[in-house]
Amino acid sequence: MSESTGLTKDAGWEVGVRTTVAAQPAVVWGFLVGEGLPLWLGEISSLPVEPGASFVTADGVRGSIRSYQDGQRVRVGWQPEDWPHDTTLQLTVKEVATGTTVALHHERLADRDERRMMLGHWKNVIAAIDAQFA
């Protein structure tokens, strides 16, 4: 697992985490947009794929699809019910020599404290994803 964090000029506070698992990209993607969806996005019946389509998870996170590239990347607006602002969350799957890298990138966070909180959250998420393919 590795991470990159910081304050950017254009996207505010951001955080990124990634892991590489020993599985084919299609298998990893299928898991992440299927039975593994609750691990990273939350409990919803299915992931909408049309840009602009909205969703609300069982725990109150609401958002919309910003872009969707099947098998590669999904960008969503992501806003917990107790946050006064929207953020952008991106999930990326990429084939590498040793399997598949899964990356989560979260931007437009409000401040250092929110970034720190989300870093802990996304580290836990990426560890749970990693464990599914161990």
- In this predicted structure, the answer to whether residue 95 has a pLDDT above a threshold of 80 is yes
Rounded distance between C-alpha atoms, residue 35 and residue 78, angstroms: 20
Arithmetic mean of pLDDT, 87-100: 98
Both structure tokens of 37: 């969806």
Could you report the per-residue pLDDT of 59-81, keeping only the tens digit for each? 999 999 999 999 999 999 999 99
- Residue 9, pLDDT > 70, answer no
Q: Are 104 and 91 in contact (CB under 8 A)?
A: yes
Range of the domain at 89: 2-132
Question: Which CATH number does the domain housing residue 70 bear?
Answer: 3.30.530.20
Percent of the chain with pLDDT over 90: 90
Looking at residue 97, its pLDDT comes to 97
Domain count, the chain: 1
DSSP 49-84: -STT-EEE-TTS-EEEEEEEETTTEEEEEEE-TT-S
Q: What is the pLDDT of residues 19-42, one digit of tens each?
A: 999 999 999 999 999 999 999 999
